[in-house]
Structure 1
């Protein structure tokens, strides 16, 4: 975006519906965001929020049809005319997807791909684009990430990089899907600052999120989606203070700060599964943590906290035996099967074969380990996953749905230790509460230990028996 070229464009959607023959997925949505305005779309996983965004972008799969109209800054087109909106990509209309890896080139260093967008799309001179890209990284607390590749940074960092690259194109209308998922409080505040600055410059923003805090902070309008329909909409200050719809009230009541406290398990009662003694880990010049000592026992629900980049995922991988520490020792309980240690990945797309249906992936696990399919079906019901989703590819379900499929697959194996790396980052508050309650119930019933990575301070306060807090080169373990 050139500083001397202000941006301004509205976004209007009228009667937009998406579906397959005989099945409506998104029903007659009407939205209007004035130029420079913001609308935040809230709703449960699988309610159609991301599908609505793809329809607006003109990026639906061939198996789906849509109707209605979409108007981007006066460029009005039939919703079914997908090429008309694809012609607007980058310069008029942009989307930051929920999965940051889909927006980043894995073969290009972080700073270079942001600078390239400044050059090729916004027309910035190379000698200006490079420092502009670096300045953007530094504003978001990632000044040292510029020379790394996407696979060398955390999921939360990748999300912020993807935003910088998308915004560099200078499109006046942007759709952002879950911009704060997996971020700690400081990093969420950084993203909010950048979004507010972009809105002040004239950006028209449609934000899809489960983060009620973000909706409150962005102000503007809010719309609540349930079952493919908008069930409530209005000024954010009004809707989130005095909601009129029962689902909106339930959504607000399910924020972690309102959860009841779970009775903690005594830390010295269960069998020791992993003994960690004075471990440290660095990657090159980046020191993550040092001197971490802890015991993980059966039945415990342990939260691992710390700012983005402090090594939470790395620590969990060391506990599982997926990584070796630079120093210190890790001793795991004797006589445990290789399936006794399981991981729920922060990015569930990385845990499923992209060309196999979910049914095939899950059936392979059931067959390999001689498990019972009806038990899996029971877990899917508890997680509110419709049987019809099983016959879709991982890319054809929402991020929240895929995250719950990953959880069901792990729970089916009844492991001794589950490392859950932000397992609810893509879930709305209602589904998050239900999912973590199921995880805690499973831990109690089967004597399983859970090592939970989370950036939400209220979740450990309600659920954890204790907390392992990591920061650069040091840790705090009660």
Structure 2
């Protein structure tokens, strides 16, 4: 790393005022070819830059290339420069001393940011102590304060595995901000959050901008891009296809793909017909469950029939995922019972996890994991490739580890794995929260089609009321 800081790049408007980071010709390649085409941009103090684009388009690769945290097998090229430093993009070690202090990243999967062996408050306090340089007492005080601010005061002593996806996301955000880094990169920061906490997190990003931070946001939520303003770049197939001021890009998009993204928001979907239902698949009677001192649900009665579609809505941490675990036999209710239909194998009661990274062995290639599943349950191999084609998954991805594909691609692999088992009941926990609007619509269409083809009862967890109304005949609100 050098101290010349002689990298000069004009921003999207030809200005060079308040630059915190300059990026020139940043690209990412693997042994199989270029994954991210060269891109140049600046991050300015107090100004947002938002990346929009389909799953697998290279947005997260760009973020990790900037941070210097690309997975093994991928190589960055180009140059980066900040205040008092510059380096080649492939010199990833050079940027490690900047992590948390100058460059901070909220990764797409909050579980990758949380240590499962440390309680939440201890992790946050450790960041305040060793990154921000605070005393032990001050770090503990600020950790408790920060957790209360994001609505996690009651979960301060919880283990990360006990948190819902939305709660884990808020905890990871608090840790990301603890070092007060001036360059903040957030990858899908609002996924898994209900509308209240989504708006709260956007407000926190706007506050960071007002404090002089540069914020690079990767999101599938066009509403987040609108709220942050600043500039937007739209990515497709590893290249930037449109860029400019956010109000101009979203208000009058020039590229066909940008127009398709905007048109694919759930509010614009046509209403779909609800199928006739069949026999009883599952019955829950008098279910009650607590999380610590917090009552999640009590005396819940629920019956599901073949081909029935039910949406589950409610705030983050309200018990939606816990309900699915109880229905599937993955958790015990405090009171009540669950009866699954006779004659249906237990393996046909399936779940799509909110965070797919936790559902795959990290050191097993995806292709090996799928073939092991087929061998274990003596399934037909023939449907594998057709399902991959319908899900838009390239055969090349089968050779990769779970951490080497995008979050959206990994979620579609999780769906593929469930569909191979011909589910009679599918609990889909925020299955499209990592997907861009176009892929989200295609994936929801595929989930609904697959459920109809196999007379599967579908329970869909979502924070989007438009999506719930489009998919389900009834809604269970927490």
> How many angstroms apart in 1 are the aligned matches of 2:51 and 2:431?
22
Is 1:405–2:413 an aligned residue pair? yes
Matched-pair contact (CA < 8 Å) for 1:356–1:393:
yes
1:193-230: CA deviation from partner (whole Å, max 9, x where unpaired): 21111111111111111111111111111111111101
> How many angstroms apart in 2 are the aligned matches of 1:185 and 1:209?
15
Q: Secondary structure at the match of 1:265?
A: coil
Coordinate RMSD, CA, aligned: 1.4
Is 1:349–2:357 an aligned residue pair? yes
Matched-pair contact (CA < 8 Å) for 2:365–2:402:
yes
Instruction: Name the stretch that deviates more: 254-263 or 121-130.
Output: 121-130
Matched-pair contact (CA < 8 Å) for 1:184–1:308:
yes
Which of the residues 332, 339, 357 maps onto 1:324? 332
Q: Secondary structure at the match of 2:242?
A: strand
> How many angstroms apart in 2 are the aligned matches of 1:360 and 1:63?
19
Which of the residues 283, 287, 290 maps onto 2:291? 283
Instruction: Name the stretch that deviates more: 234-243 or 12-21.
Output: 12-21
Question: Deviation of residue 461 (structure 1)?
Answer: 1.1
> How many angstroms apart in 2 are the aligned matches of 1:83 and 1:430?
37
In structure 1, what is the equivalent of residue 124 of structure 2?
Answer: 114
> How many angstroms apart in 1 are the aligned matches of 2:212 and 2:23?
19
Which of the residues 372, 386, 392 maps onto 1:384? 392
Q: Secondary structure at the match of 1:372?
A: coil
Q: Secondary structure at the match of 1:170?
A: coil
Map 1:296-335 onto structure 2 (within 5 A).
296-335=304-343
Relative to the length of structure 1, the TM-score reads: 0.94
In structure 1, what is the equivalent of residue 39 of structure 2?
Answer: 29
Question: Deviation of residue 368 (structure 1)?
Answer: 2.3
Relative to the length of structure 2, the TM-score reads: 0.94
In structure 2, what is the equivalent of residue 473 of structure 1?
Answer: none
Instruction: Name the stretch that deviates more: 47-56 or 75-84.
Output: 75-84
> How many angstroms apart in 1 are the aligned matches of 2:440 and 2:380?
26
> How many angstroms apart in 1 are the aligned matches of 2:435 and 2:448?
17
Question: Deviation of residue 297 (structure 1)?
Answer: 0.5
> How many angstroms apart in 1 are the aligned matches of 2:337 and 2:439?
37
Matched-pair contact (CA < 8 Å) for 2:49–2:232:
yes
> How many angstroms apart in 2 are the aligned matches of 1:136 and 1:270?
49
Is 1:225–2:235 an aligned residue pair? yes
Is 1:361–2:378 an aligned residue pair? no
In structure 1, what is the equivalent of residue 98 of structure 2?
Answer: 88
1:350-372: CA deviation from partner (whole Å, max 9, x where unpaired): 22121211111101112222323
Matched-pair contact (CA < 8 Å) for 1:16–1:68:
yes
> How many angstroms apart in 2 are the aligned matches of 1:143 and 1:190?
16
Is 1:206–2:187 an aligned residue pair? no
> How many angstroms apart in 2 are the aligned matches of 1:319 and 1:102?
27
Question: Deviation of residue 467 (structure 1)?
Answer: 0.7
Question: Deviation of residue 74 (structure 1)?
Answer: 4.8
Shift in alpha-carbon separation, 1:23–1:291, aligned structure 2, 3 A:
same
Is 1:39–2:49 an aligned residue pair? yes
> How many angstroms apart in 2 are the aligned matches of 1:181 and 1:436?
16
> How many angstroms apart in 1 are the aligned matches of 2:240 and 2:330?
44
Q: Secondary structure at the match of 1:410?
A: helix
> How many angstroms apart in 2 are the aligned matches of 1:17 and 1:443?
40
Question: Deviation of residue 284 (structure 1)?
Answer: 2.4
Matched-pair contact (CA < 8 Å) for 1:94–1:166:
yes
Q: Secondary structure at the match of 1:71?
A: strand
> How many angstroms apart in 1 are the aligned matches of 2:325 and 2:190?
23
Question: Deviation of residue 66 (structure 1)?
Answer: 2.0
> How many angstroms apart in 2 are the aligned matches of 1:78 and 1:126?
36
Matched-pair contact (CA < 8 Å) for 1:9–1:35:
yes
In structure 2, what is the equivalent of residue 104 of structure 1?
Answer: 114
Matched-pair contact (CA < 8 Å) for 2:108–2:188:
yes
Identify unmatched segments of 5+ residues in structure 2. 1-17
Identify unmatched segments of 5+ residues in structure 1. 1-7, 471-478
1:244-287: CA deviation from partner (whole Å, max 9, x where unpaired): 11101111111111111111234xx3111111122111022121
Matched-pair contact (CA < 8 Å) for 1:301–1:451:
yes
